[in-house]
Amino acid sequence: MKMAKINREDMLELTRRMTLKRNCFDRIAGAYLDEEGFVDGTFNKHFQKLSPKDQQVNLNIAKTIPFSDTNVQLKEYDFGEADRKPGSIWQLLMALKECELKNDAMLDVLYEEFGQSYQGSGSYAVYFFHGSYDVPLKAGDKESLWESEEVYQFLVCAVCPVRGDYEPGKPECGFLFPAFKDRSSDIYRIDVFAADGASRQAESLRRILFSKK
């Protein structure tokens, strides 16, 4: 599990597509877990079918991950060969990206991993967002061109404490997969977020991501 530097401009380019007018997300899924790691409920919805208010709430949650303090709160790690074996979390994330979060059975496997290994400070929610970004070419003077270079498909995960009637707080940790590096997808890297003071939660998240199967 090696670390690499994240280019802040790459992250800012992504967050500019995380607004109501320029929304890059098409699906949101997630689970609510109690403090003992048992799932209280799950959901899986088309993002555009949410009300504008709920879209904005969830955009704010998702945006926290790439908009965080680069290389301090948000750090990049690589998936080594041992981390990509059959049955690995990397393989599961790749499959969830390809199916655009439309497979509840695979999501349930991931929720179970959280329930077994994640060390929250109480009840929490695990949110998953699937997005796609048509990465524009850039001219030599860095002005955007209309032509597309590639379509970057990605997942954002945000883990939030919950209170009351499943009311989420600010994300305490999460990730962006695949990493968006040099304005392109890097499926062998992942950007992992940890809020200030959430080192215990972040460490348990890293154990989930890089546990050897």
Please tell me the pTM assigned to this model: 0.92
At residue 2, the pLDDT reads 73
Rounded CA-CA distance 45/43 in Å is 7
Domain region containing 178? 3-18+26-210
Residue 185: what pLDDT? 95
What pLDDT is recorded for position 139? 53
Q: What is the pLDDT along the chain (213 residues), one digit of tens a residue?
A: 677 899 999 999 999 999 999 999 999 999 999 999 999 999 999 999 999 999 999 999 999 999 999 999 999 999 999 999 999 999 999 999 999 999 999 999 999 999 999 998 899 999 999 999 999 876 554 555 555 678 999 999 999 999 888 899 999 999 999 999 988 999 999 999 999 987 899 899 999 999 654
Q: Is 195 exposed, middle or buried (0-12, 13-18, 19+ CB in 10 A)?
A: buried
> How many domains is the chain partitioned into structurally?
1
